[in-house]
A and B are shown apart, each in its own frame.
Chain A
Amino acid sequence: MAVIRISAPETAEKNEVIEIKAMIQHPMETGYRRDERGDVIPRDIITNFRCGYNGEIVFEAEFLPGIAANPFLTFYLRATHSGSLNMSWTDQDGQSWSATHALTVA
């Protein structure tokens, strides 16, 4: 179970600039650490984040091991129409998690 936190306004004026914050619980294991026995802890990272706005990808991030655990992002969108914001995270093995946020534009 990966916990997701999203912060975005529920309503906005047309063409208003809205702040989006997104965070997911994930170790972003680099593959460079060793456990107590000296064994390498295998790499386990989220490699991709996407934000869709009514089905169109408007913002995308590629993560490498240099992104901190529990990856956090703040970015800004222009609210042009009512609809849904879909945030999805995909790991190196193709597993993905997502959350949807409804936005009403007056």
Chain B
Amino acid sequence: MDKPLSRPTDWTRRGVIAAGTAAMSLFVPGVAEATPDDLENAIRDLFGDRPLSEGRVVVGLPPIAENGNSVALNISVDSPMTPEDHVRQIVVLSPRNPIATLAQFRLSPSVARADISTRVRLAGTQTVRVVAEISDGSLWTGKASTYVTLAACVIG
């Protein structure tokens, strides 16, 4: 995963080019990247083979993320949030990041509304999946996509 990079000893012209290439490789697929399989495996590790239903989970991402380092993410789950019927857990998953799981949230019934906002890193254009576990044990899933654009200049 972490291939050794050529390390220029002095800032010769060739060294600068090598360093530039090394810096770029951080953004090139293949350095460290999850696959859709990793996403499925992460869900299986957490919830086994329990059935997953589409719905109840709404995921919000901007249509275009001008930098993948910080992308606004909103999750809301349709739930009354009472002691008898509430969202117990929410998991955010990526099919493309180095680690498929981005975050996990645990909610108590004191959380009045199953609505969470945060900011995530997205290593490229992708569809983010969210799985919510309800207090009755049922699992619900929703997703949202965003285009992550490339900056004009590569620094490095």
Mark A residues whose CB is within 8 Å of B: 17-18, 30, 32-34, 36-38, 40, 53, 56-69, 71-78, 80
Contacts and interface: CB of A to CB of B under 8 A. Distances in A.
A67 B110 contact: no
A78 B110 contact: yes
Given A58-B110, A69-B69, A73-B118, A38 B103 contact: no
B58 interface: no
A40 B103 CA distance: 23
9 contacts: A38-B7, A56-B110, A60-B106, A66-B101, A67-B102, A68-B121, A73-B116, A75-B115, A78-B81
A80 B110 contact: yes
Contact of B115 (A34, A36, A53, A76): A76
B117 interface: yes
Interface in B61-102: 69-71, 81, 92, 94, 97-99, 101-102
B7 A33 contact: no
B114 to A, nearest CB: 8
Contact of B120 (A38, A68, A74): A68
B144 interface: no
A17 B116 CA distance: 14
A77 to B, nearest CB: 6
A37 to B, nearest CB: 6
B105 A60 contact: yes
Given A32-B26, A58-B108, A72-B118, A63 B113 contact: no
A65 B121 contact: yes
Contact of A68 (B2, B26, B71): B71
Given A64-B99, A67-B119, 13 more contacts: A32-B26, A32-B31, A38-B5, A38-B19, A58-B108, A59-B105, A62-B103, A66-B92, A66-B97, A66-B122, A67-B118, A68-B119, A76-B115
